[in-house]
Structure 1
Amino acid sequence: MKGRVFMSIRKRKSKKAAKGYTYQVYFDYTDKYGQKKTYIKGGFLKKTDALNHETLKKSELLTSGEVYKINPITVDEVFKLYIRSAPIKKSTAQMYENKYKNYIGPLFGKYKIALIDNYLVQIKFDTITTLSYGSKDICLRLLNNIFKFAYINGFLKDPYKAKINLGKKDAKPREPVSEDIFHDYLNRIRNSKNMIFKKQYEMALWIGYYTGARIGEVFALDVHDLDFESNQIYINKTLEYDYDSNTLYISSTKTDESTNTVPMPYQLKTKLLKYLENHHFDILICTDTGQYIKPGNLSGNMAYYSKVTGNHIYFHQLRHAMATRLFENDVNPKIAQRILRHKKIETTLGIYTHLKEEIALETINDIFNEDVHKPVKNLSKIKNKELLN
């Protein structure tokens, strides 16, 4: 018989209680597997509270054949299990470990995971003031991954996903780099007296410019990935950096869809052939001894250039620029998805929709000769008046 149970309420002496005693729910039961167990829960100041708790546990036994007890496992303990077994890339795991060490762990690590709710998550996230909206979103995504893992592995009775307010999104979305800034940065590289891998960096930038490939994908390319007969480049891997061992390693692409060929325009083909005239290694973007170059070195230089000149440029902007060019040339979203190697067509359509909204806004403001980003006078007063009404 499922959940056979014998229940009772006990009165127990307590020095802390005002009346000198509390009530305890105490009963033996047989679980759904036929195993005999004992359930004890004390500290009730009123007998009615103990009786209500007894009724709740009786209901759980009738419906599931088991008494639910809050699992004492903490967020720290669940995270350690999650990060060891989660099917994620090594680079993603290292990013998660960093976010957990600096933010999630200090805020939630010692809490029993079964006791966390939206209110606690919200007040804790409100204390994070040094991160951008995007970084806070990554932290929340990690926390929800931990909750999902806990539920799947039986540490949580019910599935739970934290839904909170992360504040305002970053005011200005990342935009494609302008042609002027891109060529100015290329000239800085060519004219640099201290930069070691000038030719390699310039070639990497041109590949990103003409293909929209990600920086790790570009730095992982081999000469054999270039097909000059069919004018295609085969993207099939990415170069990652292991912060633990301070080494570079080859990993799979971001998604299965990311592994694919991309067109090689004539202009890029010409630059690649010239670059290969004095190139003697299998790795395309490599040191003078044929070793991989850390992509972060170029990213760091681009960040330094942005800081010094005020002209913001980063490698992923080249991917945004490719998406913009496809849109401006009325390329079918399905073809654009194929070129950009997006996993979902919704990602491509989202970019197209954003660009259409930008054009519509600029067009209507041009009609009235107004700056798109011009601040509206007395906007705060208008908002306050709306709230009062």
Structure 2
Amino acid sequence: MASITKRGKTWYVRFSKRVQQWNPEKQGMVSILKQKSKGGFKTKAEAQQFGIKMEAESLSGVDVTKNPEFAEYYRNWYTTYKFPSLSPSTKNRYKIDYKFIKGYFNTTKIKNISRDQYQSFITNFAKDHAIVTVRKLNTSIKACLSYAIDDGLLVRSFANHAAISGNENKERHVDYLNLQEIKQLVTSCEESLSPTYVSKYLIIAAIYTGARLGELSALQWSDVDFKNKTISITKSWNQDRRDMRKPKTKSSIRIIPVNSQLLDLLKQLKVNQSSFVFGKAITKLPPTSNGVNRVLRLLLNKNNMNRKNFHFHSLRHSHVAFLLSEGVDIYAISKRLGHADIGVTLKTYAYLLDEFKAKQDKVIVNALAKL
């Protein structure tokens, strides 16, 4: 209930509510008085309006006595609920996002942010960031606000229906190798191939399958069907944390047809006597991402391929570029990559699709000529 009193020339509102709360020490429910007050209203009507608003929010399940700073609530949310299952790189992204939120909203309380204010924040952030970065930040904030609603801090999310944009100059095109470079890299790996050094096998496997490093590292011998020439992607391994998890998404669980050349190379790794296909002879575990990328950079430098930002995941892009150049249907590529839908593939590889558009235009024109 809200009580209204006059203090000097202004009006003062105090909202009081008793709630039942579990007390661990007493091992029982206890009655707690929660209060929220605000003064400085010029008229009694203004104070009454504020009191009615608090009572209405309280009836809808909102805890009107709490109103934490948005930036600090966001930080507490991701450190509590997200960090335990995140990779170091993703943790760093949340920390960077927090800095932007703190820098813009400063000490603004979570209940005091309107949809217009949030839209201004997103629009301002988009001026210097690619649209994919803006979209990730917005998605994280929306997830955070859903917790705020469950905590009784908000009735609805102020991030709903925000217009997402981005700076085209900040877009990063996927880096990939052309056909000649792919052949050169594979040849370079095979020239010095030894089961003792499994990183080169991983590099070849990525070129032939387009699978992610975690997916390949997780492969057990039971996942390789030598008879039907397929590998099953059902899990993901992180060697840095040494834990096995489900793949990135449900759609990432898939069966990939592979060529005989790759399967013949994989058979060589059985001498390492590890349950992991790419397990090393000594540790019986796959190499770390740093270890694999170090070998990849050495091979690129050896073959005079100066690619500053090229890394293991770029081999996945190279796989897609090759398939597109060979006229493979984008839907088939999407399924092979384990994308949730073809829209994800189109967004990720829009730059590559534009490059091969001219070739496809000729195919279309030649097809129309047959009418």
Normalising by structure 1, what TM-score? 0.68
1:137 positional shift: 4.8
CA contact (8 A) 1:323 1:351 kept: no
Q: How does 1:190-201 map to 2 (within 5 A)?
A: 199-201=197-199
Task: Specify the SS of the correspondent of 1:233.
Answer: strand
Higher mean Cα deviation, 150-159 or 104-113? 104-113
CA contact (8 A) 1:121 1:164 kept: no
1:346 aligns with 2:343: yes
Higher mean Cα deviation, 77-86 or 279-288? 77-86
1:222 to 210, 216, 220: 220
Give the match for residue 142 of structure 1. Answer: 140
CA contact (8 A) 2:12 2:47 kept: no
Task: Specify the SS of the correspondent of 1:141.
Answer: helix
Give the match for residue 84 of structure 1. Answer: 80
CA contact (8 A) 1:73 1:113 kept: yes
1:309 positional shift: 4.8
2: CA distance between counterparts of 1:363 and 1:111? 53
1:58 to 46, 52, 65: 52
Give the match for residue 170 of structure 1. Answer: 170
Give the match for residue 207 of structure 1. Answer: 205
With over 3 angstroms needed to count, the CA separation of the structure-2 counterparts of 1:230 and 1:309, relative to structure 1, is closer
2: CA distance between counterparts of 1:277 and 1:211? 20
1:331 positional shift: 3.8
Give the greater-gyration-radius structure (CA): 1
CA contact (8 A) 1:107 1:124 kept: no
2: CA distance between counterparts of 1:142 and 1:236? 26
1:297 aligns with 2:291: yes
Give the match for residue 287 of structure 1. Answer: 280
CA contact (8 A) 1:214 1:319 kept: yes
1: CA distance between counterparts of 2:280 and 2:254? 26
1:151 aligns with 2:149: yes
1: CA distance between counterparts of 2:118 and 2:57? 27
Task: Specify the SS of the correspondent of 2:356.
Answer: helix
Give the match for residue 319 of structure 1. Answer: 316
2: CA distance between counterparts of 1:332 and 1:89? 39
1:71 to 45, 66, 69: 66
Give CA deviations for 1:184-207 in whole Å, capped at 9, x if unaligned: 445666788xx9987412211111
CA contact (8 A) 2:36 2:64 kept: no
CA contact (8 A) 1:60 1:68 kept: no
CA contact (8 A) 1:227 1:233 kept: yes
1:240 positional shift: 1.2
2: CA distance between counterparts of 1:324 and 1:359? 9
1:29 positional shift: 8.8
Give CA deviations for 1:319-352 in whole Å, capped at 9, x if unaligned: 2233334444444444333322222232235467
2: CA distance between counterparts of 1:343 and 1:6? 50
Give CA deviations for 1:236-257 in whole Å, capped at 9, x if unaligned: 2212155xxxx42222111122
1:23 to 3, 7, 11: 11
1: CA distance between counterparts of 2:341 and 2:360? 30
1: CA distance between counterparts of 2:188 and 2:345? 33
Unaligned runs of 5+ in 1: 14-20, 365-389
1:41 to 38, 41, 51: 38
1: CA distance between counterparts of 2:93 and 2:279? 31
1:228 positional shift: 0.7
Which letter maps to 2:247?
T
Give CA deviations for 1:363-387 in whole Å, capped at 9, x if unaligned: 99xxxxxxxxxxxxxxxxxxxxxxx
Task: Specify the SS of the correspondent of 2:273.
Answer: coil
RMSD: 4.2
Percent of residue pairs bearing the same amino acid type: 19
2: CA distance between counterparts of 1:280 and 1:137? 44
With over 3 angstroms needed to count, the CA separation of the structure-2 counterparts of 1:196 and 1:147, relative to structure 1, is farther
Give CA deviations for 1:79-104 in whole Å, capped at 9, x if unaligned: 43454345x98235x44432333441
Which letter maps to 1:232?
T
Give CA deviations for 1:97-147 in whole Å, capped at 9, x if unaligned: 3233344157428543223432673598489x7x87655654443333222
1:267 to 230, 251, 261: 261
Give CA deviations for 1:8-65 in whole Å, capped at 9, x if unaligned: 451x23xxxxxxx43324577999xxx9987642113x32xx5234235436646974
Which letter maps to 1:176?
Y
Normalising by structure 2, what TM-score? 0.71
With over 3 angstroms needed to count, the CA separation of the structure-2 counterparts of 1:223 and 1:189, relative to structure 1, is same
1: CA distance between counterparts of 2:352 and 2:275? 39
2: CA distance between counterparts of 1:287 and 1:77? 44
